[in-house]
């Protein structure tokens, strides 16, 4: 199962994803988890008209949805910080993402595949490749989980404290080691 999580809207690349999905002609499911924006409903065919596409508007158990996925897809065109990518990688899911969807976590071709924003054919090929190559999904997913371990809150907070201590040592001169806080 291929999984998208987020607002189902233009800025998250949904038209690109749906067209790439249609071109890939996979015998697999694409699950879109999130609210559908009005512009999608007004300007695209209904999601049910696309082959093997399911929509989940809301769930109490996102962990279950992530654990069900074989590949995470996130062709976002606009992001601040793609938390859904971090979450997918923490679940060991290989990711197909745009540059914006990669955030600071995806290392191209190591723990995820970073694809061009508007290249529908590249997305269709990547979808097909991931569907056909189980070992690649396993390997990339394992690297994704390992990378995500570096981004747990405690490690990030400690790293930020160390950076602040290096940049502004006068703040810690009478308070001891920054990691003791």
Residue 164 is assigned to a structural domain of this protein? no
Residue 91 is assigned to a structural domain of this protein? yes
Determine the pLDDT at residue 140. Answer: 97
Residue 26 is assigned to a structural domain of this protein? yes
Residue 127 is assigned to a structural domain of this protein? yes
Residue 41 is assigned to a structural domain of this protein? yes
Q: What is the pLDDT of residues 20-47, one digit of tens each?
A: 999 999 999 999 999 999 999 898 899 8
CATH number at residue 32: 3.40.50.2000
Q: Which helix (H) or strand (E) holds 114?
A: strand 113-114
Residue 167 is assigned to a structural domain of this protein? no
φ, ψ at 2 (rounded to 5°): -100, 140
pLDDT exceeds cutoff 70 at 112: yes
DSSP readout, 67-97? HH-SEEEE--S--S--HHHHHHHHTT--EEE
What's the mean pLDDT in 81-94? 95
Residues spanned by the domain of 13: 2-152
Instruction: Tell the residue number behind the tokens 């899911």, with chain if given.
Output: 93
pTM assigned to the model: 0.85
Determine the pLDDT at residue 153. Answer: 60
pLDDT exceeds cutoff 80 at 156: no
Residue 85 is assigned to a structural domain of this protein? yes
Residue 106 is assigned to a structural domain of this protein? yes
Total number of domains in the chain: 1
Q: What is the pLDDT of residues 34-80, one digit of tens each?
A: 999 999 989 889 988 999 999 999 999 999 999 999 999 999 999 98
């Amino acid at each position: 199962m291929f999984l998208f999580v987020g607002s189902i809207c233009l800025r998250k690349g949904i038209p690109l994803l749906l067209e790439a999905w249609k071109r890939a002609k996979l015998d697999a499911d694409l699950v879109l988890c999130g609210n559908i924006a009005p512009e999608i409903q007004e300007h695209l065919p209904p999601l049910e008209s696309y082959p093997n596409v399911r929509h989940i508007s809301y769930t109490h158990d996102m962990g279950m949805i992530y654990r069900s996925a074989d590949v995470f897809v996130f062709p976002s065109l606009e992001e601040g910080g793609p938390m859904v990518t971090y979450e997918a990688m923490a679940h060991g899911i290989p990711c197909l993402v745009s540059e914006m969807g990669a955030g600071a976590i995806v290392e191209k071709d190591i723990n995820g595949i970073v694809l061009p924003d508007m290249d529908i054919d590249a997305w269709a090929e990547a979808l097909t490749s991931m569907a056909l190559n189980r070992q690649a999904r396993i390997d990339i997913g394992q690297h994704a989980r390992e990378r995500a371990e570096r981004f747990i809150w405690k490690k990030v907070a400690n790293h930020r404290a160390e950076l602040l201590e290096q940049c502004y040592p006068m703040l810690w001169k009478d308070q001891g080691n920054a990691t003791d806080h």
